[in-house]
Amino acid sequence: MCTVKGIPITRKPTLLFHASTLIRRSGEAISRMGGRHPAAAGTACTALLLVLFSFLLLQVIDAFDGTLAYAFALALAGVASIAGAWVVAFEMRDRFRAQADAIRLATTDRLTGLSNRRAMSITLGTQWKVAMRTRKFLSLVVVDVDCQNRFDDLHGYSVGDETLIMVANCISATAPWPAVRAGRYSATEFLLLLPDTSPQGAIIVGEAIRQAVMDMRLRHDDSMYGLVTVSIGCATCTPGDGLEPSTLVAAAETQMQVAKARGRNRVMSTALNAQPSRWYDMI
């Protein structure tokens, strides 16, 4: 016979040891499950705590034979296990929400609310694999605000930030369907990812963005147009044939630079994949 805190325990210590090991391993499994499924983890924790209290109290009851004590022990075990399970469930729910908020902050641009560069890179990699499997077009639109540094010098960085937010809202509003992902790629550069979109479709989206920015009529005294404008580069490919996602980004950025070189406030586009490059210039 052994004792636990002065109370005689009639079972062999090995049984208690095996029970505690099972409970510990079950607790570790519930902890791993809690981040993704808090409700299921709370239910599992309820059952685990019920088994734990029942086991320990039954050990004590073996030393004190009595029906009333037995009933009281079961009631106490049930209440304690349910209360403990709810505490754990609420704690896991709060932790899950904190993790979700952390992920959202890590993938969102603080100024514009769009996806940041990291999130866009992940999305591009995912959509690249989907397009490679389905053998469909994948288009990328790069939007860069013209002469933004001059605008900041004239009107201040706070006004410049407001302008970037308005441009970001134009890009989001122009996205033709929910599957499109928009994000801020650098200080004045935005990306729009267009799955299953042909070169002509990418041009239409790019021109819609360019026109929407012009329609805001934001004054820019140091621009040849007198307004805030954007230069846009589009690139389209069917993933495969040794191409990489970075190739598509580089091609779209090259077209954006060509648009700037040709006078800004225009859309330039090209198609990859061993097809003759087709150039489009819209203004």
Q: Domain containing 177 — which CATH number?
A: 3.30.70.270
pLDDT at 180: 79
pLDDT at 106: 79
Angle between helices 148-155 and 157-174 (to 10 degrees): 140
Query: Which residues lie across from 237 on neighbouring strands?
Result: 138
pLDDT at 192: 94
Shared domain for 205 and 89, answered yes or no, is no
User: What residue spans of the chain are helical by DSSP H?
Assistant: 13-34, 38-61, 67-106, 117-134, 148-155, 157-174, 199-215, 245-261
Query: What does each C-alpha distance from 177 to 194, 212, 238, 248 come to in angstroms?
Result: 9, 17, 20, 21
The Cα–Cα gap between 123 and 133 comes to: 15
Does residue 111 lie in a domain region? no
Query: Which residues lie across from 144 on neighbouring strands?
Result: 189, 231
Q: Is 202 helix (H, G, I), strand (E, B) or coil?
A: helix
pLDDT at 94: 72
Shared domain for 31 and 82, answered yes or no, is yes
Shared domain for 192 and 68, answered yes or no, is no
Shared domain for 132 and 73, answered yes or no, is no
The Cα–Cα gap between 166 and 219 comes to: 13
Shared domain for 132 and 75, answered yes or no, is no
pLDDT at 90: 67
Domain end call among 62, 77, 106: 106
Q: Dihedral sign, CA of 218, 222, 224, 230?
A: negative
Residue 172 tokens read as 């989001």
Shared domain for 184 and 227, answered yes or no, is yes
Phi–psi pair at 100, nearest 5 degrees: -65, -40
Shared domain for 135 and 227, answered yes or no, is yes
Shared domain for 46 and 84, answered yes or no, is yes
Domain end call among 106, 135, 164: 106
Chain centre distance of CA 255: 29
Query: Nearest Cα to 78, choosing from 50, 99, 100?
Result: 50
- How do residues 194-246 score in pLDDT, each as one tens digit? 999 999 999 999 999 999 999 999 999 999 999 999 999 999 999 987 789 99
- Domain of residue 181: give its range: 117-282
Q: CB–CB of 113/161 below 8 Å?
A: no
- How do residues 73-101 score in pLDDT, each as one tens digit? 666 666 666 666 666 666 667 777 777 77
Shared domain for 132 and 63, answered yes or no, is no
H or E, element range at 195: strand 189-195
Q: Is 12 helix (H, G, I), strand (E, B) or coil?
A: coil
**Whole-model pTM over 0.75:** no
Does residue 278 lie in a domain region? yes
Does residue 167 lie in a domain region? yes
H or E, element range at 65: none
Phi–psi pair at 177, nearest 5 degrees: -155, 160
Those residues of the chain that have pLDDT short of 50 are 4-5, 7, 9, 11-15, 274-283
Q: Is 201 exposed, middle or buried (0-12, 13-18, 19+ CB in 10 A)?
A: middle
Does residue 112 lie in a domain region? no
Shared domain for 129 and 237, answered yes or no, is yes
The Cα–Cα gap between 225 and 183 comes to: 26
Q: Looking at the 3D structure of the chain, how many domains does it have?
A: 2
pLDDT at 255: 97
pLDDT at 46: 61
Does residue 204 lie in a domain region? yes
Does residue 175 lie in a domain region? yes
